[in-house]
C-alpha cells in the first residue's frame, strides 16, 4: 500500500501543502530554477534558515541525495525540504542518488509530521536528467516509500507540459 500519488501542472511555489520539496544545490544558498522561485516567493526567512543549517551542520555542503528542512516563510506550506539532486551523467549510473532524494525528503517530512508533500521534477532542469527516466525513478521511489499511515498525498508539481506528460506516463 502506498499513499495517493497525484500530479499537477503548475508552479510549486503556489501550492498548498504541509511540505514543499526544493531541488536545491549543495551550498543551500539558493540558485536558479525552482530553487530561485521558492526563495523569491517564500521570502528571506528560508535563506536565513539555510545559512544557519550550513553554519551548524553542512559547512562543506549538503551531500547529493540528502535532505534538510527549513521554514517555508511566506509560502502556503509549513516546511521547505531542500534536497540535492544528482547532475545527470551519461557514463555513470546515478539513479540511486536520485531515488535517495525522494526517500530522504519523505523521511524528513515524516519526522516533521508533514502529511501532504509536493515535489518538483528533481534534477530535470539545470542538472539535465532526461525527463522520462527521472519521472520513472521519482514515481517508483515515492510509491515504495510513501507509507499511507504517514502521508495523505504526495504530489508532483510539474512546470511544463513535457514534464507533466513524462510523470503521467510513469504513473
Q: Which residues are catalytic?
A: 35
Position of cell 508532483?
Answer: 156
Cβ at position 83, least distance to ligand ADP in Å: 9
Name the nearest CA neighbour of 38 among 7, 11, 6, 69.
Answer: 11
Per rule CB under 6 A, is residue 72 in the interface with ligand ADP? Answer: no
Cβ contacts of residue 148 below 8 Å, gap of 6+? 1, 2, 3
User: Dihedrals φ, ψ of 29, to 5°?
Assistant: -100, 15
CA neighbours closer than 13 Å in the CB half-sphere of residue 60: 2
Q: Which is nearer to ligand ADP, 3 or 84 (CB)?
A: 84
Q: Which is nearer to ligand ADP, 22 or 49 (CB)?
A: 22
- 31-70 positions binding ligand ADP, by CB under 6 A: 33-35, 37
Q: Which is nearer to ligand ADP, 132 or 150 (CB)?
A: 132
- Contact segment (CB under 6 A) with ligand ADP among 63-71, 118-126, 138-146, 148-156 equals 118-126
Per rule CB under 6 A, is residue 29 in the interface with ligand ADP? Answer: no
Secondary structure E strands in 72-148: 77-84, 116-119
68 in Cβ contact with 27 (< 8 Å): no
- Contact segment (CB under 6 A) with ligand ADP among 54-62, 69-77, 144-152, 158-166 equals 158-166
Per rule CB under 6 A, is residue 164 in the interface with ligand ADP? Answer: no
Radius of gyration of the chain (CA): 14
Per rule CB under 6 A, is residue 160 in the interface with ligand ADP? Answer: yes
Distance CA 38, CA 22 (A): 7
Applying CB under 6 A, which residues contact ligand ADP? 11-13, 23, 33-35, 37, 85, 120-127, 157, 159-160, 163
Amino acid at each position: 500500500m502506498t499513499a495517493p500519488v497525484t500530479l499537477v501542472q503548475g508552479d510549486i511555489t503556489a501550492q498548498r501543502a504541509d511540505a514543499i520539496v526544493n531541488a536545491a544545490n549543495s551550498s543551500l544558498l539558493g540558485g536558479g530554477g525552482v530553487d530561485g522561485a521558492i526563495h523569491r516567493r517564500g521570502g528571506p526567512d528560508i535563506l536565513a534558515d539555510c545559512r544557519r543549517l550550513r553554519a551548524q551542520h553542512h559547512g562543506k555542503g549538503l551531500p547529493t541525495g540528502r535532505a534538510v528542512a527549513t521554514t517555508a516563510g511566506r509560502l502556503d506550506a509549513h516546511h521547505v525540504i531542500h534536497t540535492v539532486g544528482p547532475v545527470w551523467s551519461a557514463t555513470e549510473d546515478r539513479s540511486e542518488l536520485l531515488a535517495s532524494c525522494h526517500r530522504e525528503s519523505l523521511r524528513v517530512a515524516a519526522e516533521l509530521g508533514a502529511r501532504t508533500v509536493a515535489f518538483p521534477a528533481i534534477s530535470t532542469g539545470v542538472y539535465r536528467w532526461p525527463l522520462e527516466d527521472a519521472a520513472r525513478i521519482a514515481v517508483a521511489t515515492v510509491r515504495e516509500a510513501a507509507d499511507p499511515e504517514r502521508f495523505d498525498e504526495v504530489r508532483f508539481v510539474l512546470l511544463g507540459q513535457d514534464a507533466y506528460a513524462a510523470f503521467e506516463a510513469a504513473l
